[in-house]
Amino acid sequence: MSDARSQDQRVADALPGHWVDRHLPVALRPYARLMRLERPIGWWLLLLPCWWGLALGQMAAGGGLPNLWHAALFLIGAVIMRGAGCTLNDIADRSFDAQVARTRSRPLAAGQVSTTAAMAFLICLCLAGLLVLLQFNWFTVFTGAASLLIVAVYPFMKRITYWPQA
């Protein structure tokens, strides 16, 4: 796992020549791939409703610019927590991913990152996400924390129903 060449293998279903492959140090690439940083659609799907809600709330409060600090926190939180969800998914699915052509080159399945390192990375992502979440009011904190239940069960629900994939 410490071999730089083994850490620089591209994930089979990722776009070639992405900024993760071109600009990040080789040692960080597997962690960026764990977070799926080369695929922004996941954090866009989390971020855009947050920004929309921020804009609607500001309009309801009388207009003006939305709180840019909150907009930045939503961006940071979306990227971090989407990455945490992907990391949790890869930890849960590592044995399955190793058997499927599309996923066998993911960092955990390919042995680029150990399970222990991935779990430590997940804890760091969750702590960073918590720091972001704690910048908001308590209603938002509780709502955000409650949404984690869906994220936590997703990798395991794929084993008993097709709904997560539908």
- Is residue 161 assigned to a domain? no
Rounded distance between C-alpha atoms, residue 69 and residue 51, angstroms: 12
Q: Tally the domains of the chain.
A: 1
Predicted TM-score (pTM) of this structure: 0.87
- Is residue 57 assigned to a domain? yes
User: Any residues with CB less than 8 A from the CB of 76 and at least 6 apart, and which?
Assistant: 132
- Is residue 123 assigned to a domain? yes
Contact of 80 with 127, CB cutoff 8 Å: no
Give pLDDT tens digits along the chain (166 positions): 445 545 557 676 677 778 888 899 999 999 999 999 999 999 999 999 999 999 999 999 998 899 999 999 999 999 999 999 999 999 999 988 888 888 888 999 999 999 999 999 999 999 999 999 999 999 999 999 999 998 889 888 878 887 766 5
Rounded distance between C-alpha atoms, residue 53 and residue 35, angstroms: 25
Instruction: Give the three-class secondary structure for 108.
Output: coil
- Is residue 25 assigned to a domain? yes
Q: Which residues of 55-68 are buried (b: 16+ CB within 10 A; e: fewer)?
A: eeeeeeeeeeebee
DSSP 118-139: HHHHHHHHHHHHHHHHTTS-HH
User: Any residues with CB less than 8 A from the CB of 33 and at least 6 apart, and which?
Assistant: 11, 14, 20, 106, 107, 112
- Is residue 46 assigned to a domain? yes
Residue 105 lies in domain = 4-156
- Is residue 127 assigned to a domain? yes
Rounded distance between C-alpha atoms, residue 32 and residue 54, angstroms: 28
CATH number where 107 lies: 1.10.357.140
- Is residue 76 assigned to a domain? yes
User: E strands along the chain, which residues?
Assistant: none
- Is residue 40 assigned to a domain? yes
**pLDDT at position 163, please?**
73
**pLDDT at position 144, please?**
93
